[in-house]
């Protein structure tokens, strides 16, 4: 018999006759059989060993962890990009190996041995149903789960197991867990989908900021399903590839219990039962007939295949301080964490129980916030708010996903006030470049609106204190959009943070320290010429906003204004809405009661310029095919028209605080902007956003 290679295939399939002699005489029959045997043998030899795949997976996990450590320590942008690309490749390879392992195990189960006759087939089926029982702790847990008591602690619902019984698949030995309101909402929504005849959604993806206790939701769900007598398969990343099967007892009390398998494929029959619930804790199981609930942190790579199937996506948000305090009273936290520590860590981390409760005294875990802030990619972290599911790991320490009462994602916010302050300090330390870049990039991004508002506040405080030339628009001059824009000059001022307005001083940017101060964020008491008190002094009440609509709490503000020193309280006031350039032309007069204390106070829009904003907008337009030549000519004309005030400090130029602006009589807004007649010599022409408008050397209000 001539030797043939695996790639050699007969060009003709033999026609086999009915007789044995005719079969052997058929042209090429023996050669064909020889080739088929060689191919099947080679294919069998090429089939990888599941143990080898498992070993390779362990090796890959080590490589991924090593790359993570390198990313955390890396400061070079180019190297960081390479490391992240390498990390993504390793994760894709891990996913492919997991899929291959699952296919091999499924095939092995299907071809474990030939079944001869009906009796042997039934025996094989009975063998597959004979799962290995789990340990006594799990059996005790399942037996007592339906008897768990639902109690109230600090107005929060708590699910409590009998003493000595703990929940499985948890990093802490918990026999109590907080039943959050969002758990009820999510379960109700899932039940509605399952029970709705017109709905075919039977897969649910639960997402939320890492560390908020999504795994606890699965344990709470396990209790609900146990009370409903449902069969449940639980997959946890803490024990994977091991799996747990929870089966309810029969009506007569017979059967039931907890079973453990080294691989979920051993529970294939249950997983393919449409009445079973498959609970996956950070484990992607894309193909199953069971009702499937997967919880995961918002990292798209962890659930790519699952997300491609028909499913309902639900979100859970960070914990409130009230929820944290209630959970602190439960074991084991009550003996480990006191109230003072909880409140301090909540101010640092926000509502993440992993760091506020579970690892409150773990120094290495507490350092993770400092590591995230020092990652060197702060701008990339902020920009990840637009696509939080593709964000780097550092982003989830600083940014939290906010959720509404319907378990829908609403926006991405900073985790805490401390995070806001530290991020702002870092952005200001580099000359405000990164801060200006983010404020420019985030224009029109609804998911980043909260971040933009907070960072714009820090930026605007510094720009306003430095003084310079600003564009303003009288909002009360017209019911639609306001009057014609004009330029004004504000003096340089010192920043004065006060607990209440009784400490306000003239010539300062007064910033109330209270976070919930009504209606305004800061105020300016314009100095009189030469420091002499004259009627020309004005009180500017400034509200910072990145939105076109902003409510005015006039009664609360009026009550606070009564605390001002009498010499300031008697001044004529104006209400200014300070905003970034993209909102300046869009805002109109804000609604008041019409009869309240602010009904006669004029409203103005004040543009806080962001260096490079218009240039960035033009580049964006150019990429979408918009003609930017006119915008460019307007910028040139605008720069040319401002030569008249070139001796004064430009607003928005905060890179050098050594440049001073001399306060003078023209450093204030007019009393009737757009109505006061000016000498001809005080009027110049300037192109602003395509319209010729006057630039005025403004006198007293």
- Partner residues linked to 149 by β-bridges: 160
Q: Which residues contact 57 (CB under 8 A, 6 or more apart)?
A: 94, 97, 98, 101
The two structure tokens encoding residue 490:
């504000």
Q: Is the pLDDT of residue 597 over 80?
A: no
d(Cα 485, Cα 181) in Å, to the nearest integer?
Answer: 49
Judge whether residue 236 has pLDDT over 60.
Answer: yes
Q: Residues near 530 by Cβ (< 8 Å), separated by ≥ 6?
A: none
For residue 642, the SS3 value is helix
Residue 199 has pLDDT above 70, yes or no: yes
* pLDDT surpasses 60 at 618: no
CA atoms of 419 and 399, how far apart (whole Å): 9
684: β partners? 695
Q: By percentage, how much of the chain surpasses pLDDT 90?
A: 33
- 481-507 average pLDDT score: 80
Rounded CA separation 605/488 (Å) = 12
Give SS3 for 16: coil
- The torsion angles phi and psi of 263, rounded to 5 degrees, stand at -150, 140
What proportion of the chain, given as a percentage, has pLDDT over 70?
72
Q: Which of helix, strand or coil describes residue 230?
A: coil
User: Helix, strand or coil for residue 658?
Assistant: coil
148, 166 Cβ separation under 8 angstroms: no
Whole-angstrom distance, CA of residue 564 vs CA of residue 566: 6
Phi, psi for residue 229 in degrees, rounded to 5: 60, 45
pLDDT reported for residue 636: 41
Pairing of the two strands 468-474 and 486-490? antiparallel
What's the confidence (pLDDT) of residue 359? 94
List, in sequence order, every residue forming a beta bridge with 232; answer none if it has no partner.
246, 277
Q: Are strands 409-414 and 399-403 parallel, antiparallel or unpaired?
A: antiparallel
Query: So what's the pLDDT on residue 329?
Result: 94
The pLDDT of 450-472, averaged and rounded, is: 90
What torsion do the CA atoms of 141, 143, 145, 151 make, to the nearest 10 degrees? -100
Give me the pLDDT at residue 254, please: 74
Determine the pLDDT at residue 593.
Answer: 67
Query: Do 327 and 409 touch, CB atoms closer than 8 A?
Result: no
What are the structure tokens assigned to 672, written together?
Answer: 């009737």
| Structural element, H or E, at residue 403 | strand 399-403
Q: What is the pLDDT of residue 602?
A: 86
- Predicted pLDDT at 68: 74
Query: How many CA atoms are closer than 13 Å to the CA of 624, on its beta-carbon side?
Result: 6
- Are 659 and 649 a contacting pair, CB within 8 Å? yes
Which residues, 6 or more positions from 374, have their beta carbon under 8 angstroms from its beta carbon?
none
Residue 696 pairs in a beta bridge with: 683
Above 90 in pLDDT, residue 161? Answer: yes
Q: Which of 698, 586, 690 is nearest to 638 (CA)?
A: 690
Q: How far is CA 535 from CA 336, 466, 700, in A?
A: 62, 25, 9
- The string of DSSP letters for 628-695 reads -HHHHHHHHHHHHHGGGGTTSPBTT--S-TT------TTSS--TTTTTS---GGGEEEEEETTEEEEE
How far from 258 is each of 136, 201, 231, 261, 564, CA to CA, in Å? 9, 28, 10, 10, 70
CA distance 473 to 455: 23
Closest among 133, 117, 135 to 125, alpha carbons compared: 117
pLDDT band at 143 (very low <50, low <70, confident <90, very high): very high
Across 289-302, average pLDDT: 93
Max mean pLDDT among 61-75, 492-506, 578-592, 642-656 falls in 578-592
What's the rounded mean pLDDT across residues 570-580?
Answer: 88
In tens, the pLDDT along 658-701 reads 222 223 323 333 333 333 322 322 322 232 333 333 333 333 33
Q: Cα 215 to the chain's mean position, in Å?
A: 18
Reported residue count of the chain is: 701
Across the strands, what pairs with 648?
none
Check: CB of residue 315 under 8 Å from CB of residue 407.
yes
Instruction: Give the per-residue pLDDT at 664.
Output: 31
For residue range 79-131, list pLDDT tens digits in order. 777 877 787 788 778 777 777 776 666 565 455 443 333 333 343 344 345 68
- Confidence bin at 480 (pLDDT 50/70/90): low
DSSP 497-551: EESSGGG--TTEEEEES-TT-SS-SEEEEPPPGGG---TT-EEEEEEE-SSS---
The contacts of residue 446 (CB under 8 Å, 6+ apart) are: 411
Residues 134 and 440: their CA atoms lie apart, in Å, by: 57
Q: If you average pLDDT over residues 59-75, what whole number do you get? A: 76
Interior/surface letters 227-237, b for 16+ CB within 10 angstroms, e for the rest:
eeebbbbbbbe
Largest CA distance in the chain: 126
Average pLDDT of the residues in 493-512: 82
Range 591-623 burial, b when 16+ CB lie within 10 A, else e: ebeeeebbeebbbbbbbbbbbebbebbbeeeee
Rounded to the nearest integer, the mean pLDDT of the chain is 76
DSSP 660: -
3-class SS string, 79-147: HHHHHHHHHHHHHHHHHHHHHHHHHHHHHHHHCCCCCCHHHHHHHHHHHHHCCEECCHHHHHHHHHHCC
Lowest-pLDDT choice from 163-177, 471-485, 558-572, 576-590: 471-485
Q: What is the pLDDT of residue 478?
A: 60
Is this model's pTM higher than 0.75 or not? Answer: no
**Would you say residue 217 has pLDDT above 90?**
yes
Q: What angle do CA 239, 241, 246 make, to 5 degrees?
A: 70
Cα-Cα end-to-end distance for the chain: 109
Rg value, the chain, Cα: 34
| pLDDT tens-place string over residues 345-381 | 999 999 999 999 999 999 999 999 999 988 777 888 8
**What pLDDT does residue 215 have?**
93
pLDDT class of 140 with cuts at 50, 70, 90: very high
For range 32-48, the mean pLDDT: 48
- 3-state class (DSSP) for residue 274: coil
Closest CA to 325 of 311, 313, 312, 337: 337
Per-residue model confidence (pLDDT) at position 194: 94
Rounded mean pLDDT, 532-543: 67
Spell out the residues 6+ positions from residue 397 whose beta carbon is closer than 8 angstroms to its own.
368, 369, 371, 372, 415
Residue 569 is predicted with a pLDDT of 81
Confidence of residue 527 (pLDDT cuts 50, 70, 90): low
pLDDT tens-digit readout, 426-447: 888 777 788 888 888 888 888 8
């Amino acid at each position: 018999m001539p030797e043939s290679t695996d790639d050699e295939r007969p060009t003709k399939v033999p026609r086999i006759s009915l007789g044995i002699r005719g079969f052997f005489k058929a042209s090429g029959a023996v050669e064909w059989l020889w080739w088929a045997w060689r191919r099947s043998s080679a294919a069998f030899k090429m089939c990888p060993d599941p143990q080898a795949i498992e070993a390779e997976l362990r090796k890959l996990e080590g490589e991924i962890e090593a790359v993570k450590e390198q990313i955390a320590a890396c400061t070079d942008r180019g190297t960081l990009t390479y490391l992240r690309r390498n990390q993504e490749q390793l994760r894709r390879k891990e996913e492919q190996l997991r899929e291959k392992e699952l296919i091999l195990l499924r095939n092995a189960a299907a071809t474990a041995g030939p079944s001869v006759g009906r009796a042997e087939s039934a025996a094989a089926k009975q063998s597959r149903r004979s799962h290995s029982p789990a340990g006594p702790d799990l059996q005790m847990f399942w037996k007592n789960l339906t008897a768990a008591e639902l109690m109230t602690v600090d107005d929060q619902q708590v699910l409590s197991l009998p003493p000595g019984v703990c929940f499985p698949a948890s990093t802490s030995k918990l026999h109590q867990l907080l039943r959050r309101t969002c758990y009820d909402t999510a379960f109700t929504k899932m039940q509605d989908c399952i029970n709705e005849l017109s709905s075919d959604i039977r897969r649910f993806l639960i997402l939320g900021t890492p560390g908020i206790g999504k795994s606890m939701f699965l344990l709470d769900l396990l209790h609900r399903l146990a009370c409903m007598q449902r069969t449940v398969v639980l997959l946890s990343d803490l024990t994977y590839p091991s799996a747990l099967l929870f089966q309810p007892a029969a009506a007569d009390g017979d059967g039931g219990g907890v079973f453990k398998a080294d691989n979920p494929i051993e529970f294939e029959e249950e997983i393919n039962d449409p009445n079973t619930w498959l609970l996956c804790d950070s484990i992607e199981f894309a193909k199953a007939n069971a009702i499937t609930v997967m919880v995961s942190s918002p990292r798209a790579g962890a659930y790519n295949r699952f997300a491609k199937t028909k499913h309902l996506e639900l979100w859970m948000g960070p914990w409130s301080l009230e929820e944290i305090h209630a959970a602190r009273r439960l074991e084991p936290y009550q003996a480990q964490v006191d109230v003072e520590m909880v409140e301090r860590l909540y101010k640092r981390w926000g509502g993440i129980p992993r760091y506020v409760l579970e690892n409150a005294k773990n120094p290495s875990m507490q350092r993770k916030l400092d590591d995230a802030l020092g990652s060197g990619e702060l701008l990339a972290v902020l920009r990840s708010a637009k696509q939080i599911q593709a964000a780097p790991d550092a982003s989830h320490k600083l940014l939290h996903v906010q959720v509404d009462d319907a378990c829908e994602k609403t926006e991405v916010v900073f985790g805490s006030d401390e995070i806001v302050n530290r991020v702002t300090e870092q952005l200001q330390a580099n000359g405000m470049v990164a801060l200006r870049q983010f404020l420019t990039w985030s224009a029109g991004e609804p998911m980043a609106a909260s971040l933009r508002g907070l960072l714009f506040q820090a930026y605007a405080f510094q720009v306003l204190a430095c003084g310079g030339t600003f564009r303003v628009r009288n909002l009360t001059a017209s019911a639609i959009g306001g009057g014609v824009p004009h330029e004004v000059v504000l003096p340089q001022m010192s920043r004065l943070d006060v607990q209440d307005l009784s400490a306000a001083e003239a010539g300062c940017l007064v910033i109330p320290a209270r976070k919930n101060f009504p209606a305004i964020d800061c105020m300016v008491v314009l100095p009189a010429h030469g420091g002499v008190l004259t009627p020309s002094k004005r009180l500017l009440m400034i509200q910072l906003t990145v939105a076109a609509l902003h409510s005015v709490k006039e009664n609360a503000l009026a009550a606070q204004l009564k605390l001002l020193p009498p010499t300031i309280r008697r001044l004529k006031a104006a209400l200014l809405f300070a905003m970034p350039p993209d909102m300046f032309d869009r805002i109109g007069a804000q609604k008041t009661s019409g009869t309240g204390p602010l009904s006669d106070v004029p409203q103005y829009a004040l543009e806080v310029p962001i260096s490079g904003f218009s240039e960035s907008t033009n580049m964006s337009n150019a990429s979408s095919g918009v003609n930017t030549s006119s915008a460019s000519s307007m910028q040139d004309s605008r720069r040319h028209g401002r030569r008249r005030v070139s001796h004064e400090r430009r607003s928005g130029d905060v890179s050098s605080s050594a440049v001073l602006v001399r306060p003078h009589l023209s450093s204030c807004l007019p009393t009737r902007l757009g109505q006061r007649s000016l000498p001809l010599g005080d009027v110049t022409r300037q192109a602003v956003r395509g319209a010729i408008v006057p630039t005025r050397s403004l006198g007293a209000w």
